[in-house]
Amino acid sequence: MKTYFIQKLEGLLLLGLGMMIFKLYVSGHLTNLIAPKMVPYALAALFAFFVISLLRLKKRKQGGNHCECHSHGKSSSPALALKYSLFFIPILLGFILTDFTLSGEVLAKRGMAQQQSQKQSPNDAAGKHVNQAKITVTDDNYFEVLDDLLNNLDTIEGKEIELSGFIYREDGFTSKQVAISRLSMSCCVVDATLYGYMVNGHVKGMKTNDWYTITGTLKKGTYKGETVPVLDLKAAKKIKAPKEVYLYENVQIIQ
Amino acid sequence: MLLKRYTGNLLILILLFLLLAFFFLGDVFIPKAIDLSGYPLLHSVLVVFLGLFLESIPFLFLGAIASSFIQLFISEEIIQRMIPKSAFMAIFAAIVAALIIPVCECAIIPVVRRLIQKGVPVHAGVVLLVTAPILNVIVFGSTYYAFQNNPAILYGRIILCILTAIIVGLFIYIFSRKDVVKEEKPEAVRGHVHDFPPSKWTSFIEHTSQEFFMVGRYFIIGALFASIFQVLMDRTLLAEIGQAPIKGTALMMGIAFVLSLCSSADAFVAASFSHSFLPGSILGFLVFGPMLDLKNVLIMLSCFKRSFVFTYVLLVFAVVFSLCLIAGGLISKGGL
């Protein structure tokens, strides 16, 4: 009887896991938890879970009684139930949660990533963003622009830049300093990394974690002893948080 | 007996009904009833846990499939023929195998257990455990990308990984013990001792599912702990200790252990530490983390005997730690 029950229970849990992935995928929350490049794996798992759960839940024509002889194992029913009930944690979390953002306090504990200027090959299109009259940062060119700016720190003085992000503050910031930040993910929310530009100006009214589109002029500044591009605030417009909160780091293996 | 089965079925039906109710309505009613916004840290722990779970679960499942496949379709004779006779050659064969097999830490552990059960020598299995998470193209790619201006980290990661594998493999070979694999509980072996054996296909499904749930529950516990550390650890405070080579390396290895990052993503996180820590310490993070972390150790405990896991953890830590100190010294002198 126990064997039979466990077989059904495993089928049920696999079904639940599949449903959980399905729900997150359909509601679009999946990419708040794992990067798009991991989504195909999750969908493959979803498919496999459904197939195996159906096979497990299906009534077996024969064999049920033969299994009885081995079912009087060491672990008792309550212990077994406890072991399986662990799987309800992720299933229910996936069903219940609606907000998948990390809280500001957590981000403050991680600190802002300090981008290093990257070595680029000479025939690369380096500097193409810096030479524009006004630099507009989008999700797609975020890291390109950041690399460009870091590579050309001496020539960016006075250039105008427009970008969106959320307001981030650290303990050491003065009342005239914030960072306009984005979160980036390479595999899943576990490796979420904070990137941002320091902004100087009248920022007192801007609330931490609110989203803004900021226009400013660039200059050379420092963050934790590193030379980085810094913005002087010209204009700020409050915006709604975008649907895609994260930037996704694309690793090009062959470059 | 019939009554028991009836209650069992009833229970399953009730659970199924609850599952469906939560599936359709869980995000409508529950957030109102339990408001997590007052507990941002708890909320973040849950989000991080779910992220970690979703990221790893396909690979855990893949590991279960591979392990069942080996169990049912690959005979001990085939494995005996494939394994080189000399210990050295077995170690190198395992390293080459790790390069070819494109799986990382979640999937490899049950596979290695199954291989050892099928007669692969323990030291070769251990080499596979050490190298498989690091020696693959995706990990090379992300490490290269994250440390473009510091190629020593990429080379160092590969070289240290291979050296660790050789040293740990030899050590295990010399002080080898045969019985490292945890005994399977009766409920996990019932599939193939029937009077009328079910088809191979049925037992394959059964094995995969059992293996998945056995490894999975340890993984869930590990992932819960890892997400708590993820959220509570203040990384900005760590920078102050970063410049001491010995303390820094130990600290970075400790961080890698509790964070339980996937080996194809940890390079980016390591890059965010790279200003406050020395290269040797960064290498500690990148080499030790994929070999051993919280979720990993728990998965290992589901597959191997406790004493073996304990020896393995100590051994890998000691070897990686000393190698990283040496490598750190070499890098700061301009070598590598």
Give the pLDDT score at A50. Answer: 93
Is residue B35 predicted with pLDDT exceeding 80? no
Q: Does the beta carbon of A62 lie under 8 angstroms from any beta carbon of chain B?
A: yes
Do A62 and A110 lie in one domain? The reply is no
Do A26 and A128 lie in one domain? The reply is no
Query: Which residue segment(s) compose the domain that B219 sits in?
Result: 46-332
Binary contact (A190, B198; C-beta < 8 A): no
CATH of residue A179's domain is 2.40.50.140
Binary contact (B271, A67; C-beta < 8 A): no
Mean of the pLDDT values across residues A193-202? 86
Helix B122-131 to helix B151-174 angle (10° resolution) is 160
Binary contact (A90, B272; C-beta < 8 A): no
How many domains are there within chain A? 2
Which phi and psi angles does B3 have, rounded to 5°?
-65, -40
Q: What gap in Å lies between CA A39 and CA A30, rounded to an integer?
A: 8
- Distance, CA of A182 to chain centre: 10
Q: Which tokens hold the place of B22?
A: 């939560």
B28 falls within a domain: no
Give the pLDDT score at B163. Answer: 93
B51 interaction partners in chain A (CB closer than 8 Å): 33-34, 188-190
Do A119 and A137 lie in one domain? The reply is yes
Which chain B residue's Cα is nearest to A12? B16
Average pLDDT of chain B to the nearest whole number: 82
A76 interaction partners in chain B (CB closer than 8 Å): none
- Model confidence over B186-228: pLDDT tens digits? 444 444 444 455 677 888 888 888 888 888 888 888 888 888 8
3-state SS record for chain A: CHHHHHHHHHHHHHHHHHHHHHHHHHHCCHHHHECHHHHHHHHHHHHHHHHHHHHHHCCCCCCCCHHHHHCCCCCCHHHHHHHHHCCHHHHHHHHHCCCCCCCHHHHHHHCECCCCCCCCCCCCCCCCCCCCCEEECCCCCHHHHHHHHHHCCCCCCCCEEEEEEEEECCCCCCCCEEEEEEEEECCEHHHCEEEEEEEECCCCCCCCCCEEEEEEEEEEEEECCEEEEEEEEEEEEEECCCCCCEEECCCCCCC
B145 interaction partners in chain A (CB closer than 8 Å): 249, 251-252
A253 falls within a domain: no
- Distance, CA of A198 to chain centre: 21
Residue, of A92 and B273, whose pLDDT is higher = A92
Task: Tell me the shortest Cα–Cα distance from A52 to chain B, in angstroms.
Answer: 7
Task: Tell me the shortest Cα–Cα distance from B306 to chain A, in angstroms.
Answer: 18
Rg value, chain A, Cα:
25
Query: Which residue segment(s) compose the domain that A52 sits in?
Result: 2-96
Q: Does the beta carbon of A95 lie under 8 angstroms from any beta carbon of chain B?
A: yes
B20 falls within a domain: no
Binary contact (B148, A66; C-beta < 8 A): no
Give the pLDDT score at A250. Answer: 65
Do A64 and A110 lie in one domain? The reply is no
Do A116 and A215 lie in one domain? The reply is yes
Residue B56 corresponds to which amino acid? S
The confidence band for B74, taking pLDDT boundaries of 50, 70 and 90, is confident
Task: Tell me the shortest Cα–Cα distance from A215 to chain B, in angstroms.
Answer: 27
Determine what percent of chain B falls in helix, strand and coil, rounding each to the nearest 5: 80, 0, 20
Name beta bridge partners: A236.
A214
Give the pLDDT score at A63. Answer: 45
Q: Does the beta carbon of A104 lie under 8 angstroms from any beta carbon of chain B?
A: yes
Number of CB atoms found within 10 A of residue A253's CB: 11
Binary contact (B198, A63; C-beta < 8 A): yes
Q: Which of A8, A19, A190 is closest, CB to CB, to B23? A: A19
Last residue of a domain, one of A96, A131, A155: A96
Is residue B79 predicted with pLDDT exceeding 50? yes
Which phi and psi angles does A34 have, rounded to 5°?
-130, 155
Do A141 and A218 lie in one domain? The reply is yes
Give the pLDDT score at A123. Answer: 42
- From the candidates A96, A118, A209, which should be mutated to test the interface with B, based on the most B CB atoms within 10 A? A96
Last residue of a domain, one of A76, A96, A116: A96
Give the pLDDT score at B193. Answer: 45
B63 falls within a domain: yes
Do A77 and A111 lie in one domain? The reply is no
A254 falls within a domain: no
Give the pLDDT score at A254. Answer: 36
Binary contact (A193, B268; C-beta < 8 A): yes
B4 falls within a domain: no
Beta carbons of B259 and B293 less than 8 angstroms apart? yes
Residue A79 corresponds to which amino acid? A
Last residue of a domain, one of A40, A71, A96: A96
- Model confidence over A64-117: pLDDT tens digits? 444 433 433 445 667 777 788 889 999 988 888 888 888 777 777 777 776 555
Mapped onto helix, strand or coil, the DSSP state of residue B175 is: coil
Q: Which of residues 227-246 of A touch B (CB under 8 A)?
A: none
The confidence band for A253, taking pLDDT boundaries of 50, 70 and 90, is very low
Do A92 and A140 lie in one domain? The reply is no
A43 falls within a domain: yes
Q: Which of B37-51, B186-200, B274-288 has the lowest mean pLDDT?
A: B186-200
A49 interaction partners in chain B (CB closer than 8 Å): 61
B15 interaction partners in chain A (CB closer than 8 Å): 9, 12
- Model confidence over B125-164: pLDDT tens digits? 899 889 988 988 878 888 887 787 788 888 999 999 999 9
Beta carbons of B50 and A93 less than 8 angstroms apart? yes
B193 interaction partners in chain A (CB closer than 8 Å): 70
Give the pLDDT score at A75. Answer: 54
For residue A96, what are the contacts with CB-CB under 8 A and spacing of at least 6? B22, B26, B27, B30, B31
Give the pLDDT score at A1. Answer: 56
Binary contact (A45, B61; C-beta < 8 A): yes
Average pLDDT of chain A to the nearest whole number: 79
Task: Tell me the shortest Cα–Cα distance from B281 to chain A, in angstroms.
Answer: 17
Do A149 and A199 lie in one domain? The reply is yes
Give the pLDDT score at A119. Answer: 45
Q: Which of residues 160-199 of A touch B (CB under 8 A)?
A: 170, 184, 186-191, 193
Q: Chain A to chain B, count of Cβ pairs less than 8 Å apart?
A: 246
Task: Tell me the shortest Cα–Cα distance from B201 to chain A, in angstroms.
Answer: 11
- Model confidence over A112-137: pLDDT tens digits? 776 555 544 444 455 666 677 788 88
Which phi and psi angles does A168 have, rounded to 5°?
-130, 135
Give the pLDDT score at A59. Answer: 64
Give the pLDDT score at B52. Answer: 86
Query: Terminus-to-terminus CA distance in chain A, angstroms?
Result: 58
Q: What gap in Å lies between CA A195 and CA A137, rounded to an integer?
A: 13
Q: Is the dihedral of CA A140, A142, A143, A145 positive or negative?
A: positive
Q: What gap in Å lies between CA A40 and CA A208, rounded to an integer?
A: 34
How many domains are there within chain B? 1
Q: Which of A174-178, B260-264, B324-328 has the lowest mean pLDDT?
A: B260-264
Q: What gap in Å lies between CA A203 and CA A201, rounded to an integer?
A: 6
Q: Does the beta carbon of A117 lie under 8 angstroms from any beta carbon of chain B?
A: yes
Do A85 and A108 lie in one domain? The reply is no
Q: What gap in Å lies between CA A70 and CA A6, rounded to an integer?
A: 13
Binary contact (A97, B271; C-beta < 8 A): no
A255 falls within a domain: no
- Model confidence over A19-57: pLDDT tens digits? 999 999 998 888 888 888 888 989 999 999 999 998 888
Q: Which of B138, B224, B272 is closest, CB to CB, to A113? A: B272
Which chain B residue's Cα is nearest to A5? B8
Length of chain A: 255
Residue, of B30 and A245, whose pLDDT is higher = A245
Do A75 and A140 lie in one domain? The reply is no
Q: Which tokens hold the place of B101?
A: 């097999």
Beta carbons of A221 and A230 less than 8 angstroms apart? yes
Do A140 and A230 lie in one domain? The reply is yes
